[in-house]
Structure 1
Amino acid sequence: MSSASGGTPPAVRVRKHLMVPGQPRPQNREPMSIGGVQRWVLSTLAATTILHLAVGLIFAAAYSERLDAKIGLLVISAAFGVLAMVAALVIHRRQPLSPWLLIGLVPTAAGAWIVL
């Protein structure tokens, strides 16, 4: 029997995000070196540890009653956030002055919106 339109059925599109049993996905030919993995682990630990300190300063600012203390703690929090990004960049042997430093200001910006 033919289809209602009289033509051949449309071709099925292969979805690229699905696994095809006979066609494995191409893999990286060169795995990451142990030094590269260590750099990623160290930079992640350093950045998250320093950012936790920055967030702690934001909480301290939230519980402070004086406006000048709140502003001072938020400024120190911003400095620690930028320092966290500098540490990660230096560990990866990149230039410390980079647009990535703006990521360090995100927790302080969110905290300032909540605190002030």
Structure 2
Amino acid sequence: MARTRVRRELTTEQVQRWVVSFLILAVSSFPIGALVAVIRSIVDDGRRSDGTILLAVMAVIGIVALGAIRLVHRRPAFAPWILLGAVPAVVAGVLIL
């Protein structure tokens, strides 16, 4: 017997939440990407300590963005999942430093 999956329709409010979530993601991605370029040029100038400070700023931006997305979806802002916001900073730190 084949199972039929019941498809649930999204309400207007749920669609609005997803749109706002993607906007938060897009707006936070721009400074994170810009910081990667800035960190690379700073490290090339020999200022490694300044680069690590900017990596920390980059991690904070990512964590705050994921916390904001969780709040939009009416979830608690503080959860272990928000630490995934630091992943771009960790990857940039490994590749650049």
> Could you state the TM-score of these two structures normalised by the residue count of structure 1?
0.73
Uncovered stretches (5+) of structure 2, i.e. residues with no partner: none
- Larger helix percent: 2
Q: What are the residue-to-residue correspondences of 1:59-78 with 2, within 5 Å? A: 59-64=37-42, 65=45, 66-78=47-59
RCO higher in structure (CA 8 A, sep ≥6): 2
- 1:53-111 Cα shifts (integer Å, max 9, x gaps): 12211221011121121111111101101011011011111101011112101100100
Please report the RMSD computed on the Cα atoms of aligned residues, expressed in angstroms: 1.9
Percent identical pairs in the alignment equals 27
Uncovered stretches (5+) of structure 1, i.e. residues with no partner: 1-13, 15-22
Question: Matched residue pairs, number?
Answer: 94
> Could you state the TM-score of these two structures normalised by the residue count of structure 2?
0.86
Q: Structure 1: which 4+ aligned runs deviate by more than 6 Å?
A: none
